[in-house]
Amino acid sequence: MKRIVLKHGEEDRIRAGHPWVYDNEVGKILDGFTAPSAGDPAPVVLLPGEVADVESSRKTYLGRALVNPNSKIIARIYSPSKEGMDKGFFKRRIREAVAQRTVGPSNYDLHRHSLRLVFAEADFLPGIIIDRFVGWPLNKVESAELESAVSLRPIMFEDAEAALGKPQSWIAIQFLSFGMDSRREEIIAALEEVLEQDGFIIPDGIPLGTSAGIVEKSAAKVRELEGLPLREGLIRGSFPAAGIVIFENGIPFMVNLIDGQKTGHFLDQRDNRRIAAAYAQAASAGKPVLRVLDVFSYTGGFGIHLARAGAAQVTCVDASAAALETVRINAGLNGLGDSITTVEADVFEYLRRRPAEELYDIIILDPPAFAKTRSALEGALRGYKEINLRAINMLKPGGILVTCSCSYALDEIRFRYMITEAAADAGKRLIMLDFRRQPADHPVLVGYDESLYLKCGFYRVAG
Ligand code: SAH
């Protein structure tokens, strides 16, 4: 086993829980198998994807890591002990991650709920993301005629189950590090064995069962930094061409794992959408026509929730025509008729062109990560501030701003300060109603701040 010995003083961040070793932190690389020989030993070279031990300059053991000498992140620690990386290891780790998700107040039921099963470093599987979607093929749901065209009633999970039987499941998987990418077959086999056989990890003891399809979504740009090509497509089973219907907070959504962005659906906003819907419900009780603007809407995650909660006019704005097509399908599944309007536009342009008299009761801002790295933060903050300032100006007195950022490089304090500045520039006073993060199936690893990435603030514009 090769040993990566850090330079003096470089171990503090790792001892605090951060799993990455950067190439400029490495003092020397030793070959653990060869006794020190006299004279100059041949330099030890790390091979992409191999496993090595990491030590401080004082030879304190820090953990076992996957290495990639072609990446700035030269090693990703996956275990504090000398644990090998084989199928048994993957099964153990996946089992632990799945079991974690069945406990606690979130009340996840893996037989019904779509969840992130593995969140990479934060589940001690560096560079692997696994989302599991539970539902039925869209065409089956549609042909079962569950929604009534007359009453425009939304489709319910129970109706679908009664008509179509138990839901199926599909997996979206991302391999984001070289070491994991080279072990993908082993990882998929381990995942399938855990889901098919390990009923004991689920409270009811019933195994989750075979996935109807596994779709690889390894198209994230970070793969290029690992020297990996972008890769997407079906790797096991099948995926319905028209997509599937999942239920989130009891609300049906069409998801297409093949064509969708990231893993197909942004599961991390599930709880924030539910809370936003609760605000809409409270507000619409006193107002017959609640107007909502959902910008960067993607497939309408927030907008559909708010319309279901009683918002009479919801405008979803996104640059992706495909996402907006799905918004319309979702409006249909939810019996929302014409309360949802879609607009294909660049959000910055769209907000700039709004007439001053166009005001809303609730505005959702859920942009993509503007700051993908720390060095991109300053420019990103200008973008965040611009959309927040414009949104604050477009809210009625008493209106609510739901504003998010999924850039890990933007911490909560700076995010809130950006909102403070935007409110000051708008000359408005804001009340912070709530400030939220990501849900429990996207765990946060203490010491690894990159894993605490989602911010979602709820603010009321003082009247
Ligand atoms: N709110 C969504 C997730 C948003 S993801 C949900 O709840 O599911 C970010 C979205 O912003 C993507 O759909 C992407 O197509 C869109 N987008 C990115 N840049 C944009 C821009 N400049 N103008 C409009 N849409 C943009």
Task: Give the pLDDT confidence score for residue 38 in this predicted structure.
Answer: 65
Enclosing H/E stretch for 330: helix 321-333
325 touches ligand 1 (CB under 6 Å): no
For ligand 1, atom 12, the nearest C-alpha belongs to: 298
Residues 390 and 385: their CA atoms lie apart, in Å, by 8
Residues 345 and 165: their CA atoms lie apart, in Å, by 40
The encoded tokens of residue 395 equal 């809210």
From 203, 212, 205, 189, select the one nearest 133 (Cα to Cα): 212
302 touches ligand 1 (CB under 6 Å): yes
Task: Give the pLDDT confidence score for residue 105 in this predicted structure.
Answer: 87
> Cα of 261 to ligand 1 centre, how many Å?
9
Q: Which of 133, 273, 298, 456 to mutate to test the pocket of ligand 1 (most atoms within 8 A of CB)?
A: 298
Q: What percent of the chain has pLDDT over 70?
A: 97
Helical axes 270-286 vs 301-308, angle rounded to 10°: 40
Dihedral sign (CA 256, 257, 261, 265): positive
pTM score > 0.75 for this model?
yes
> Cα of 295 to ligand 1 centre, how many Å?
7
The three-class DSSP label of residue 258 is coil
350 touches ligand 1 (CB under 6 Å): no
From 368, 445, 453, 439, select the one nearest 409 (Cα to Cα): 453
Asked if residue 288 lies in contact with residue 242, where contact means CB atoms within 8 angstroms, the answer is no
70 touches ligand 1 (CB under 6 Å): no
Per-residue pLDDT tens digits for 105-151: 888 999 999 999 999 999 999 999 999 999 999 999 998 877 655 45
216 touches ligand 1 (CB under 6 Å): no
Per-residue pLDDT tens digits for 57-99: 999 999 999 999 999 999 999 999 999 999 999 999 999 999 9
DSSP string, 185-238: HHHHHHHHHHHHH-GGGSTT-------SEEEEEE--THHHHTT---EEEEEEE-
> Cα of 204 to ligand 1 centre, how many Å?
38
Task: Give the pLDDT confidence score for residue 35 in this predicted structure.
Answer: 63
Task: Give the pLDDT confidence score for residue 286 in this predicted structure.
Answer: 78
Task: Give the pLDDT confidence score for residue 266 in this predicted structure.
Answer: 98
The residues assigned a catalytic role are 406
For ligand 1, atom 21, the nearest C-alpha belongs to: 346
Residues 74 and 26: their CA atoms lie apart, in Å, by 9
> Cα of 251 to ligand 1 centre, how many Å?
20
> Cα of 332 to ligand 1 centre, how many Å?
21
What amino acid occupies position 310?
G
For ligand 1, atom 8, the nearest C-alpha belongs to: 301
Average confidence (pLDDT) per 10 residues, the chain, 463 residues: 97 97 97 68 90 97 98 97 97 97 92 98 98 97 71 86 96 97 98 96 96 96 92 96 98 97 96 98 88 98 97 97 98 92 98 97 97 90 98 98 97 98 98 98 97 98 92
